[in-house]
Structure 1
Amino acid sequence: MIKQPINRRIRFASLAMIAGAGLAAGSAQAQDKGTVNLAYVEWASEVASTNVVRAVLEQAGYEVEITSLSAAAMWQAVASGDADAIVAAWLPTTHEHYLERVSDDVVDLGTNLDGTKLGLVVPAYTDVDSIAELDENADTFDGTITGIDPGAGLMSLTEKVIENYDLEEVDLQSGSGATMTAALDSALDNKEDIVVTSWTPHWMFARWDLKYLEDPKDVYGGAEQIHTIARDGLKEDLPGAYAILDAFEWTPEQMGEVMLGNQAEDAEPYEVAKQWVAENQDVVQEWLSES
């Protein structure tokens, strides 16, 4: 369980001043280091990580632009050079087919977060415990698995789940990460059953009492990692930014702090990221030391 940071709002003003000082110092060191374009998919985890990397690169003196895309478009953007990098590659399973298509045009910088999980999630009070039980209990959740954006690797895997488990009474409904969590919130408020596609790390597990359904056929696979992927040629064009991206690595607990911060009322992910960067300069300096 990820614990929510204590007194986050009380510390915000002072931390913002620290962040501002750090970013100003970085800009003073190098005003013309160049612009880094980051692409990401609109998942809570990737919103958190991409904004943190943005804040760190800005502290180092780079201009940074971030663009939210579908998973397929995100991979195509980094392969074509429209984006310089992504820190949102779920491997070896979820995004495997995307990597296979563009492997000649990108560089895998390795793991930036270890210990992820994919699967179907239900409220803890739900009587169903396994994917194999879904068809016979389809009426309890209206025969619907509430999914995320249709281009996500998680959705492709869920389609395989429906096929491999012969779920004839179940349909997969696409949407987005936001619509999925909104549907889950509503179901929990009304003590209703619901099945959603989800992943760890995600702030929902800190907020609500949930459980993964067992996957005896192991369609979703075991634990994955999130990787950083750069466009071919970035190392030569922006070696300092490349080094920072290569060094970027954090824990599910650290990511969880940022994700929870993003759920606060009127939270701005970029401001939350800058606050986290200011509060964790010991970690940040390790990422900057190679640049």
Structure 2
Amino acid sequence: MNVKRVGQLILVTLIFVVLAACGSTSEDANSDKNSGEAKDSKGTITIGQINWPENIAVTNLWKTILEDEGYEVDLKLLEMGPQMAALASGDLDVAPEIWLPVQDKSYFEKYKDEANFFENPWYDNGRVGLAVPTYMKDINSIEDLNKNKDKFDGEIIGFESGAGTMLVAQDVIDEYGLDYKLSPSSTAAMITSIKNAVKDKEPIVAPLWKPHYIFSEVDLKFLEDPKKTFGEIEQIYMATRNGFDSDHEKVSNWLINFKLNDEQLGDLMNKIKENEENPIEGAQKWVEENQDVIDKWMK
């Protein structure tokens, strides 16, 4: 074999050795990477979401916080009834908005043994009732509605039928003997109806709640509720599926520590509304500006 032929064989052999080494290194690196991903994975947390302004705000807030901590978060858009049923069956991890003592009492009573309802609220200054535009000067109480039935065409414009407030609104109709029909729709449709009515200075009555940005956009007033059927001050609680606190002890403690006051919740809702097309961006801005608040929840 001549010297030239030997040189070619040596070169080919060296190339195979180098390629094999590179492949091995690449596979080892990928193996280490995948191993690290598995080790660092904290799992997926599913949170129920309802198309209410404060709910969109809070669910996106927690999605931002938890994903920053390495969790995957799946927001599931479910109305209140299906959401509570999913929580009780274990198909949902967190239901972030339970209004008590009145609005969601029926859901609490039904599922209190099948889910973990938190002892303390994350918001403690809620209000719910029937609302009308402030220019309706002669209508100030629920008791004024029957004698003004024709103005409203005997209709109360509502939102999602399974919401606790809609169930209580039907109780109000029965309790006060109102000759009115409660018309369900969606939250967005109800808000649009209110804005259109106010724009044209027409009568409208709807079940509403605070906190809600609509009160900063149009002038509305709650009707007096002498029988307190809607209750007085409402508080908002979280609930988790049974076993969530042991599966995700840290997250459970963070949610227990979660608290917002009027100013904080209002600011969060405004940032979400400013980023309606991508609410997570609004939540991220709030997180950046309120890290000291968040740090207190995550002790």
TM band (smaller chain): 0.7 to 0.9
Match of 2:235 in 1: 225
Q: Is the 8 A contact 1:58 1:64 kept in 2?
A: yes
Q: Taking CA–CA contacts closer than 8 Å with sequence separation of 6 or more, which of the two structures ends up with the larger relative contact order?
A: 1
1:269 aligns with 2:279: yes
2:71 maps to which residue? 62
1:182 aligned onto 2:205: no
TM-score for the superposition, normalised by structure 1: 0.86
Shift of 1:240: 1.4
- Matched-pair contact (CA < 8 Å) for 1:57–1:244: no
Tell me whether 1:236 sits opposite 2:235 in the alignment. no
TM-score by length of 2: 0.83
1:76 is paired with a residue of what secondary structure? helix
The whole-number CA distance in structure 2 between the counterparts of 1:288 and 1:248 is: 9
Residue of structure 1 in register with 2:27 after alignment: none
Q: Please, which of 86, 96, 119 is the counterpart of residue 95 of structure 2? A: 86
Is 1:81–1:231's contact at 8 Å kept on the other side of the alignment?
A: yes
Alignment of 1:29-108 (within 5 A): 31-108=40-117
Tell me the secondary structure at the aligned position of residue 122 of structure 2.
strand
**Residue identity opposite 1:65 in structure 2:** D
Matches of 2:167 and 2:264 in 1, distance apart? 28
Indicate the residue corresponding to 1:136 in structure 2: 147
Counterpart in 2 of 1:157? 168
Check whether the contact 2:272–2:281 (CA below 8 A) recurs between aligned residues: no
Q: How far apart in 1 are the matches of 2:275 and 2:92?
A: 31
Deviation at 1:118, TM superposition (A): 0.7
Residue 135 of structure 2 aligns to a residue in which SS? coil
Distance of 2:275 and 2:62 partners within structure 1: 23
Runs of 4 or more, structure 1, over 4 Å off, are none
Match of residue 9 from structure 1: none
CA contact (8 A) 1:31 1:62 kept: no
Q: 2:15 aligns to what?
A: none
Give the Cα–Cα distance (whole angstroms) in 2 for the partners of residues 143 and 77 of structure 1.
35
Cα distance in 2 between the residues matched to 1:52 and 1:160: 33
Determine the structure 1 residue equivalent to 2:217: 207
What stretches of structure 1 of length at least 5 have no aligned partner?
1-27
Aligned pairs, how many?
260
Map of 2:33 onto structure 1: none
- Of 289, 294, 297, 1:284 maps to 294
The answer to whether residue 123 in structure 2 is matched with residue 113 in structure 1 is yes
Q: Give CA-to-partner distance per residue, 1:143-179, whole Å, 9 cap, x none.
A: 21111100011111111111111112x2111011111
> Aligned with 1:263: secondary structure?
helix
Task: Please list the CA deviations of residues 188-232 of structure 1 after superposition, one character each: whole Å capped at 9, or x if unmatched.
Answer: 111111101100100011112110000011110111110010111
What is the CA deviation profile of residues 13-51 of structure 1, one whole-angstrom value per residue up to 9, with x for unaligned ones? xxxxxxxxxxxxxxx9x8411111101222111111111
Consecutive unaligned residues of structure 2, counting only runs of 5 or more, are: 1-36
- CA deviations 1:93-122 (Å, max 9, x no partner) are 111111111111211222111110110011
Task: Report if the CA contact (8 A) 1:44-1:177 is conserved.
Answer: no
Residue in 1 aligned with 2:261?
Answer: 251
Range with greater deviation from structure 2 (104-113 or 208-217): 104-113
Q: Contact 1:261–1:267 (CA<8 Å) still a contact in 2?
A: no
Is the contact between residue 130 and residue 205 of structure 2 (CA under 8 Å) also seen in structure 1?
A: yes
Q: Which amino acid aligns with 2:126?
A: T
Q: Which letter maps to 2:121?
A: T
Percent identity over the alignment is: 37
